Chain A
Amino acid sequence: MLKTFKIGGVHPAENKISAGKPIKDLPIPNEVKIMVSQHIGAPSKALVKKGDEVKVGQLIAQSAGFVSTNIHSPVSGKVVKIDQITDTSGFKKEAIIIETNGDEWDESIDRSDALIHETTLDGKAIVEKISSAGIVGLGGATFPTHVKLLPPPGAKADVLIINGVECEPYLSADHRLMLEKGDEILIGTRLLMKALNVDKAYIGIENNKPDAIENLTQKALRHQGISVVPLKVKYPQGGEKQLIKAITGREVPSGALPINVGAVVNNVGTAFAVYEAVMKNKPLIERIVSVTGKTIKEPSNYRVRIGTPVNNLLEAAGGIPENAGKIISGGPMMGKAVTSTDIPVTKGTSGILIMDEKESHRKEIENCIRCGRCVSACPMGLEPFLMMPLVENNDWERCEKEMITDCIECGSCSFTCPANRPLLDYIRFGKASVTKIIRTRKEK
């Protein structure tokens, strides 16, 4: 029997429309906008100023703390200005705007396709490289990778899990990467194993991607300690805690981190970026983005430079269809509807999804009928139907007792609710409020 996590989970329609489309390079845009805050943690500090000439791969913004990361120029050209631009949710955030001129790369970057199998670097040097290359979790959460590789004192990792689940419907960026860059992912995995000093690594892939499972299983025979684990399809298997449970059977306790049970989880995209950073000296300046949707002309997967306007992606995929209702950055379950298509691709943009008019509207909210479907769908074992009224009444004390901070915001409760109640909207707000209260209490 195939492995999966035990509690909760839902089965949204998969709709992997773009899965059969090979990765294409998107032409370099005329202008890129690079947000200084495109990861979790402190915003990076801009190092360039107006008028500076930059090359591809040059450091343009420096990490501003331990949980923060470097940002490199994805194009060569001139810095036009450092200005406030609209981000995905419509707020104005600082960004570096660069006008492209040619495509001149930094000399130290190896641009060839040749595979490099071995490195003389030790674990510490690998982490150093990853940190300076500005690598963050490419699954969408954008947590700086080097932080995960440096466990807090007292904790020790004994297993590395590579996340090739891609449980979000529609998205296919990781799937394509596993098919086309299998060797690189496996070498990247080995580098991560060396950095963490572990001898076991599992690559978890859902069995709706049999070609990726086969490809990686065969290639993994040549790599000691790496095994591919096919998983039963269930959303949200790509969640860190769910994946650890599915593969190793270990349960991350409430309020703890995966490292507390000896596991570190990284995305396949991250493993690929690690390979490029360590072996090719190439910082994180591009990523794979799926452009997909039922009505879009050419659903496809593109390799794009960070900072490319979303408009360019949509144009390449045949433009915005007439009956488009909503454009989402990310997948349909956890992604965010964008307020404008003028926003740039960031390190966390895993896909651009267009939903048509009919698909995108929320249905009318009705009264809770206490059917308990949200409870059986919650992968964290919470009771969403109970939390929504608690949040409505600002009863933060009880919210905390109900473990609202354990919510992983996967949206299974809202998805499964037959009364169309916006459960996650409320829980997310409650979680933010309770987290704030806990933090102020700790500071006291």
Chain B
Amino acid sequence: MSATLIYTVITISAIGAASAVILYFVARKFFVFEDPRIEEVENELPSANCGGCGFAGCHAFAEAIVTSGNLEGKYCPVGGSNVMAKVAGVMKLEALEQTPRVAVLRCNGTCEFRPKTTNYEGAKTCAIAAMNFSGETGCQFGCLGFADCVNVCQFDALHMNPSTGLPEVDDDKCTACGACVKACPKFLFELRKKAPKNRKIYVACRNTEKGAVAKKSCEVACIGCGKCEKECAYEAITIENNLAFIDSDKCKLCRKCVAVCPTNSIIETNFPPRKEKITENASTEKVDA
């Protein structure tokens, strides 16, 4: 009885020892050197694997940083400047600062402003609907409302608002990974500079048709009149193809363009209510228009 036990223990131990020796040599033979810094960098990254940096995931991003040895054009939008500073510390490089960005939907064609003209019953995804037809409203540039962007968002930052039929961005949760920008077949999302208190001013329209045509299909369409361009003191607004665009890097959030827009297609969010004087100006402008 005890002999059986002893033999078993000896045999198993011998096999174990032999395997250990073999494995040791095999491991030496097939050893792949990986820069230890790759793991260190990867540990600093948020592990969201969202692809917002332009690489396949956090590991691929870390590998790209370490192998290239510089940080040019490599930025993790989810981690932001904090994480990039830590990564730069690991790599002993100078950190590149970038202002955090946030996704905005450049369409304000709610059910109220942009009435339905047709009824679509096909597959309920934006990608397929965009291939089949122009949209349920008269505007061929606007949001289709089948929530492809909501489905791709990994950070729970996008939700459909059933009363407007448009997706809404949760500014605090949005990491500017850019998944929605790629998913939207109408190219409605834009990553804009994040301002203090999440304040934003932007043209919520992508309609490049002539003013009268655009206005016919949507009440709040940008008609490319150019009033905002003249009003802006910082040259942040340009007009191209009957559509205004506010450069978020130049915009100083003065709100003057919002007041002059005749179709209310420029949107301001998270601002305190206007002072008396400006409100007066705005109302007279409206009467003029």
A interface residues with partner B (beta carbon < 8 Å): 84, 86, 89-92, 336-337, 339-340, 361-362, 422, 425-426, 428-429, 432
Contact = CB atoms under 8 A, between A and B. Distances in A.
Contact of A92 (B118, B122, B123, B209): B209
Contact of B118 (A339, A361, A362, A429): A339
A89 B133 contact: yes
Majority SS at the chain B contact face: loop
Interface string B97-128: 00000000000000000000110011100011
Interface string B115-148: 0011001110001100111110000100000000
A89 B134 contact: yes
Interface of B: 117-118, 121-123, 127-128, 131-135, 140, 209
Contacts, number: 41
B179 to A, nearest CB: 13
6 contacts: A89-B133, A337-B133, A339-B117, A339-B118, A425-B122, A428-B128
A84 B212 CA distance: 13
Contacts of B134: 86, 89-91, 339
Contact of B121 (A89, A91, A336, A361): A361
A336 B122 CA distance: 12
B131 A429 contact: yes
Contacts of B117: 339-340
Contacts of A425: 122-123, 128, 132
Most buried by A among B128, B135, B209: B128
Contact of B135 (A90, A362, A428, A429): A90
A249 to B, nearest CB: 36
A90 B140 contact: yes
A145 B139 CA distance: 35
Contacts of A91: 133-134, 140
A90 B133 contact: yes
Contacts of A428: 128, 131
A340 B217 CA distance: 13
Contacts of A422: 122-123
Contacts of B140: 90-92
Contacts of B122: 362, 422, 425
A428 B123 CA distance: 11
B69 to A, nearest CB: 28
